[in-house]
Amino acid sequence: MMIMDLTGKTALVTGASRGIGRATTLSLARAGAAVVINYSSNEAAAEAVKKEIEGFGGSALVVRADVSDYSQCENLIKSAVDHFKRIDILVNNAGITRDNLLARMKTEEWQEVIDTNLNGVYNCCRAILRPLLKQKSGGRIINVASVAGIHGNSGQANYAASKGGVIAFSKTLAKELGSRDITVNAVAPGFIETEMTDVLSDEMKEQVLSRIALGRLGKPQEVAEVILFLASSAGYITGQVISVDGNLSM
């Protein structure tokens, strides 16, 4: 039997205002979790997610933080714990792309992607450990990686490296925290209908579609469902990478 009841739990989602983060936040809230909506730039979008959650009787808190900055992550976790008195679930979703062929890539493009996508995961995980361990009631960490981090993707050396790093980091953390009933998993979305893929040219989209067995892009909600599963009933799954990509061959 699948039990996806998160009543009494608190979940924090980074990059929660749009795309996969938004769908995940709404799903966790519908399952009963109190949610912390983190965003870095789009305050209006974050507030809209909060409003939607409060509309169906859930509770939510909006906190601005740039995950590439450790002290901001510390404040983010502190705000969450101060407000909801506990923290149980962390979804590291915040991510950016700065696509370019390596031959043309600027150091800033490399650095910005690593800072947000990889260092951001380290920052939030590091900051949440103390309150999580102190609670002594287990926990769930779900990191949003990417198929690019498994297979590589031309034009995304920075993004693929950051996501590959997230995968290895997740597997390691799963080993370190297993004895405390804290599970750590990664999901690896393929091409999902978000602002991140909106920027792809029609020609590029055609080419991508021909490589997806299911013949369509995924929906944010389809990734959110997997994250919800990992955050709730999947108590005996840890250190895994779950591809949500419609069977994409890269």
| Contacting residues toward another protein, per CB under 8 A | 130, 133-134, 176-177, 179-180
Q: Which of 39, 70, 122, 159 is catalytic?
A: 159
| Complex with another protein: residue 134 or 216, whichever CB lies closer | 134
> How far is residue 5 from each of residues 100, 216, 234, measured CA to CA in Å?
42, 31, 12
36, 60 Cβ separation under 8 angstroms: yes
Closest CA to 246 of 184, 200, 188, 194: 188
Q: How far is the CB of 180 from another protein (least distance, A)?
A: 7
| Complex with another protein: residue 173 or 187, whichever CB lies closer | 173
Q: How far is the CB of 152 from another protein (least distance, A)?
A: 34
Q: Which two tokens stand for residue 170?
A: 């997740």
| Complex with another protein: residue 8 or 178, whichever CB lies closer | 178
Q: Where are the alpha helices (DSSP H) in 60-194?
A: 70-84, 107-113, 120-135, 148-151, 157-177
Would residue 122 show up in a list of annotated catalytic residues for this protein?
no
The β-bridge partners of 11 are 35, 89
40, 66 Cβ separation under 8 angstroms: yes
Q: How far is the CB of 130 from another protein (least distance, A)?
A: 6
| Complex with another protein: residue 133 or 250, whichever CB lies closer | 133
Q: How far is the CB of 241 from another protein (least distance, A)?
A: 23
Residue carrying the six token digits 């939030």: 124
Q: Which residues form the catalytic set?
A: 159
